[in-house]
């Protein structure tokens, strides 16, 4: 029994010794491989530094520049700006590594960036040959020989410059597109938007040009007068007859209300031809409209001016001439219309007299006329001539003279709106 135990103990000891020897053998092999790898790396780095120094020396002799500075360029952009202008880099140290495949790493780069891949035990013996081959044929991860440095750096810089240029161009274009989108509506570009804006402006201008002036015309009086009383103005205690039938031609026998409507219709026709819109207060003799009611119609019509057509009369048959009437600046009802009404009145009387040769009695201010005092727009009463004067009574019944009066009224209205 003891003999058997002794054999087992002996066998265990032998097994442990063998196990220890095998373990030591593996550790030694691993250490040898690591030593070889470190040696290869050290030799490769030494070769890299040596080639860099040689390239630096050659570049320095070629450029005859100061090589005291050993600070690497911050980025490829520095080399780009100098090489693109045909100048040699002031610092011979190559630019730092970028994403560009042809860029050159700096001599002070982290060894991890140029460290070769770990080799297996079977490849360890080939490390010396690989290092020697790398010295003869440098790759992009290593430093280029001095004879090719300028060419490769220039190519690198040109590619980097092109990439930077494309990036610089892309960014402003994106901004421009954004601005264009802000200005332009969906489905259109900025030029279309500009054209639309110009078209809209032209349309507005055309609308203003083509918009019609609105003129209210009252042919004074009517066939049958209404002599009921009404205030001569808003809040007035003084009253007058609502409307009369007017005077009559002493030598022709023509009633004023007929002459007034005849001229009013002619004025309407001419103004319409000139592009005006005309509101006729009456177009018949058989109406019953007071002076206040006539003013109310004009006020509510949207008209800009109120033209009241009349003929004059006097107990003195020698009195003749043409005049217009407007409210004075002291009018208790429509003083605010005085200035505009005066311009309108003067423009018309001057134009009538110019066309007819009638005596110009001017624009006369009066504040007792109901048709004026109830108006809310510039207003004038036109007294074409005296029906009690033989010459004017007869002239006003001729078509030629009537047309001259009409021409004068329309010219005066044109003049007023042109001011």
In degrees rounded to 5, what are phi and psi of residue 19? -60, -40
Q: What does the pLDDT read at residue 412? A: 98
Q: In the numeric block, which tokens belong to residue 174?
A: 């994106």
Q: What does the pLDDT read at residue 267? A: 98
115 & 68 share domain: yes
311 & 246 share domain: yes
Q: What does the pLDDT read at residue 1? A: 59
Rounded CA gap, 51 and 370, in Å? 115
Region at 326 (left for phi over 0; alpha for psi -120 to 50; beta for the rest): beta
Quick one: how far is CA 125 from the chain centroid? 76
Rounded CA gap, 272 and 263, in Å? 14
Query: 3-class secondary structure for the chain?
Result: CHHHHHHHHHHHHHHHHHHHHHHHHHHHHHHHHHHHHHHHHHHHHHHHHHHHHHHHHHHHHHHCCCCCCCCCCCCHHHHHHHHCCCCCCCCCCCCCCCCCCCCCCCCCCCHHHHCCCCCCCCCHHHHHHHHHHHHHCCCCCCCCCHHHHHHHHHHHHHHHHHHHHHHHHHHHHHHHHHHHHHHCCCCCCHHHHHHHHHHHHHHHHHHHHHCCCEEEEEECCCCCCEEEEEECCCCCCCEEEEECCCCECCCCCCEHHHHHHHHHHHHHHHHHHCCCEEEECCCCCCCCCCHHHHHHHHHHCCCCEEEEEEEECCCCCCCCCEEEEECCCCCCCCHHHHHHHHHHHHHHHHHHHHHHCCCEEEEEECCCCHHHHCCCCCEEEEEEEECCCHHHHHHCCCHHHHHHHHHHHHHHHHHHHHC
198 inside domain = no
Q: What does the pLDDT read at residue 25? A: 61
260 inside domain = yes
342 inside domain = yes
131 & 247 share domain: no
Quick one: how far is CA 226 from the chain centroid? 62
Which of 227, 222, 267, 272 lies closest to 245 in space, CA to CA?
Answer: 222
111 inside domain = yes
Rounded CA gap, 387 and 248, in Å? 6
236 & 177 share domain: no
Rounded CA gap, 114 and 107, in Å? 10
Q: Which of 134, 164, 181 is the last residue of a domain?
A: 181
100 inside domain = yes
Rounded CA gap, 287 and 282, in Å? 7
Rounded CA gap, 40 and 37, in Å? 5
Q: What does the pLDDT read at residue 12? A: 77
48 & 135 share domain: yes
Q: In the numeric block, which tokens belong to residue 58?
A: 């050659």
Cβ-contact 34, 118 below 8 angstroms: no
Q: Is the pTM of this model over 0.75?
A: no
For the chain, how many structural domains are there in total?
2
Q: What does the pLDDT read at residue 28? A: 53
Q: List all residues 6 or more positions away from 280 whose beta carbon is below 8 Å from its beta carbon.
A: 217, 219, 264, 265, 268
Average pLDDT for consecutive 10-residue bins of the chain (419 residues)? 68 78 61 49 47 44 42 39 40 40 39 42 46 43 42 48 49 44 40 44 41 95 98 97 97 98 98 98 98 98 98 98 98 98 98 98 98 98 98 98 98 97
CATH of the domain at 399: 3.40.630.40
Which of 36, 229, 24 lies closest to 127 in space, CA to CA?
Answer: 36
78 inside domain = yes
258 & 120 share domain: no
Bridge partners of 278? 215
Question: What residue numbers bound the domain in which 322 lies?
Answer: 214-418
223 & 161 share domain: no
169 & 246 share domain: no
49 & 97 share domain: yes
Q: What does the pLDDT read at residue 15? A: 79
194 inside domain = no
In degrees rounded to 5, what are phi and psi of residue 279? -105, 115
61 & 115 share domain: yes
191 inside domain = no
Rounded CA gap, 73 and 94, in Å? 7
Q: In the numeric block, which tokens belong to residue 173?
A: 């274009």
160 & 237 share domain: no
Q: Which of 181, 204, 235 is the last residue of a domain?
A: 181
380 & 327 share domain: yes
């Amino acid at each position: 029994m003891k003999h058997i135990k002794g054999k087992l103990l002996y066998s265990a000891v032998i097994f442990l010794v063998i196990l220890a020897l095998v373990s030591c053998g593996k550790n030694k092999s691993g250490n040898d491989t690591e030593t070889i790898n470190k040696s290869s790396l050290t030799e490769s780095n030494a070769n890299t530094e040596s080639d860099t120094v040689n390239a630096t020396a050659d570049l320095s002799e070629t450029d005859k520049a100061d090589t005291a500075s050993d600070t690497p360029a911050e980025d490829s952009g520095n080399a780009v700006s100098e090489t693109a202008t045909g100048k040699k880099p002031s610092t011979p140290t190559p630019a730092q590594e970028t994403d560009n495949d042809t860029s050159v790493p700096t001599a002070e780069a982290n060894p991890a960036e140029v460290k070769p891949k770990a080799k297996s035990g079977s490849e360890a013996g080939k490390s010396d040959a690989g290092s020697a081959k790398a010295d003869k044929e440098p790759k992009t991860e290593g430093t280029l020989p001095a004879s090719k440095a300028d060419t490769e750096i220039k190519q690198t810089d040109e590619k980097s410059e092109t990439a930077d240029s494309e990036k610089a161009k892309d960014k402003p274009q994106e901004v421009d597109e954004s601005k264009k989108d802000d200005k332009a509506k969906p489905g259109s570009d900025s030029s279309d938007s500009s054209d639309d804006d110009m078209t809209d402006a032209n349309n507005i201008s055309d609308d203003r040009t083509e918009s019609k002036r609105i003129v209210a015309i009252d042919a004074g009086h009517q066939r049958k007068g209404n002599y009921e009383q009404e205030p001569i103005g808003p809040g007035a205690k003084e009253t007058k007859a609502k409307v009369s039938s007017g005077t009559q031609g002493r030598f022709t026998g023509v009633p004023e209300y007929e002459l007034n409507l005849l001229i009013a219709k002619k004025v309407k026709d001419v103004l319409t031809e000139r592009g005006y819109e005309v509101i006729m207060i009456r177009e018949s003799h058989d109406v019953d409209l007071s002076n206040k009611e006539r003013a109310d119609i004009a006020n509510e019509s949207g008209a800009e001016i109120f033209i009241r057509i009349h003929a004059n009369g006097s107990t003195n048959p020698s009195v003749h001439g043409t005049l217009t009437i407007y409210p004075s600046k002291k009018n208790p009802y429509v003083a605010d219309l005085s200035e505009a009404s005066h311009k309108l009145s003067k423009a018309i009387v001057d134009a009538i007299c110019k066309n007819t040769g009638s005596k110009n009695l001017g624009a006369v201010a009066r504040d007792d006329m109901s048709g004026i005092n109830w108006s809310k727009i510039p207003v004038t009463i036109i007294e074409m001539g005296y029906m009690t004067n033989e010459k004017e009574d007869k002239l006003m019944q001729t078509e030629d003279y009537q047309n001259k009066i009409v021409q004068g009224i329309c010219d005066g209205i044109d003049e007023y709106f042109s001011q």
